[in-house]
Homo-oligomer: A and B are copies of this chain.
Amino acid sequence: MLTKGGCPKNMLSIRDALEALEGRWKLLILFSLQAGAKRFKEISKEVNGITDKTLSKELKILEMNRLVKREVYDTFPPTVEYTITAHGKSLEKVMEELHYWGLAHRKEIMGK
């Protein structure tokens, strides 16, 4: 295991990842975009509990980190859609492991 032994160099990359994904919302937003491009209101509806202000701020940070792309279509009125980038999609394994661990954690905490 690469992470065994608490090697400081590995801690640095985990820190990089945690900083880019900080908070409880970014991965949930990316998860909701995995199913396809979405408009602001659609994301806001899917990611239960997020306020519009927070979603707007989080989308900007995700865009800055090249995880999400914002596209404006020349319709009337203009349509804005958010899509997950290839780099955002590369988080799939992280999300999958978090999903499995989340299930195990619920069992550990609630099931005993």
Contacts and interface: CB of A to CB of B under 8 A. Distances in A.
Interface residues of A, number: 51
Interface string A7-49: 0101111111111101110011001111100000000001000
Interface stretch (A51-59, A68-76, A93-101): A93-101
Contacts of A105: 16-17, 20, 65, 87
Interface of A: 1-6, 8, 10-20, 22-24, 27-28, 31-35, 46, 65-66, 87, 90-106, 108-109
Copies in the complex: 2
A24 to B, nearest CB: 5
A86 to B, nearest CB: 9
